[in-house]
Amino acid sequence: MKELNPLLHSQLRLAVMSILMNVEEADFVYLKEKTESTAGNLSVQIDKLTTAGYIVVEKGFVGKKTRTVCQITDLGRAAFEEYVEALKDYLNL
Amino acid sequence: MKELNPLLHSQLRLAVMSILMNVEEADFVYLKEKTESTAGNLSVQIDKLTTAGYIVVEKGFVGKKTRTVCQITDLGRAAFEEYVEALKDYLNL
DNA sequence: TTACAGCGGTTTATAATATAAACCAAATTA
DNA sequence: TAATTTGGTTTATATTATAAACCGCTGTAA
């Protein structure tokens, strides 16, 4: 049985990646709402995905408010797809 | 996004459950080989699945050797199927 | 003008989890 | 009879997930 990429095999990180697979970009607040996570947890998981090179984060401003925007990378996309393929074996799909 | 049953969202437990979904029963040694896990790890995870009522374990003998046989329960089957449905949302399947 | 209540996060402490190492009893082999 | 192997279990450790506590900035009401 194939190994399941442990970086993706985590509910919150998988949720984030899943969202980012389907949109051009998403900001912190949006991800937090969609995943119903706490800010702290989300922050940590975003860090891990960034360190792995699976997403890129850009911090900017909207008016005077900070805005953290996330985007999936090619590497992240590939890892996600590989993870899905591996999981299929487990799920009998 | 639906919650992913944490008992099933673990590589080794998922592997065990996946195998048990497809066979009438499987013994410890077989599961260990198929999953390429250590005996200790497998033992712990089998315990957890048993405690949850997802599998049942029967200890018997083959000649003079002990044999630990595992079988999935209806509850386990249902939990597995629910987990698969929940995951599909994440994987875009 | 200060004080205090959000917003958008980050850092850090803790609880839970996965995993392997160490162990055990019975059976086999040398 | 002394290793070795087999089929596991128990326990210690390392990793991970998660929330709590915190921080700086902004708006606002007193």
Whether the CB of A3 is below 8 Å from some CB of chain B: the reply is yes
The per-residue pLDDT for range B9-48, each reduced to its tens digit, is: 999 999 999 999 999 999 999 999 999 999 999 999 999 9
Q: Does B11 contact strand C, using a CB cutoff of 7 Å?
A: yes
Task: Say if residues A5 and B11 touch (Cβ distance below 8 Å).
Answer: no
Q: Which nucleotide is nearest to B44 (CA to C1')?
A: D9
Give the ranges where chain A is alpha helix by DSSP (H): 11-22, 28-35, 39-51, 74-91
pLDDT, tens only, A60-93:
999 999 999 999 999 999 999 999 999 999 999 8
Count the domains in chain B.
1
Please give the residue range of the domain that contains residue B85: 11-91
Does residue B58 fall inside a structural domain?
A: yes
Q: What's the CA–C1' distance between A61 and D28, in Å? A: 22
Element (H, E) at B61: strand B55-62
Residue B6 lies in a domain: no
Asked whether residue A4 is domain-assigned, the answer is no
- pTM for the complete prediction? 0.94
In chain B, which residues have their Cβ closer than 8 Å to the Cβ of A34? 1
User: B1 CB near a chain A CB, below 8 Å?
Assistant: yes
Residues B37/B12, Cβ–Cβ less than 8 Å? yes
Quick check: is A6 in a domain? no
Chain B contact present for A62, CB below 8 A? no
Could you say which of B6, B21, B90 has the minimum Cβ distance to residue A14? Answer: B90
- Report the CATH number that the domain containing residue B45 is assigned in CATH: 1.10.10.10
Work out the average pLDDT over A42-55: 97
> Does residue B1 sit within a domain?
no
Are the beta carbons of B43 and B51 closer than 8 angstroms? no
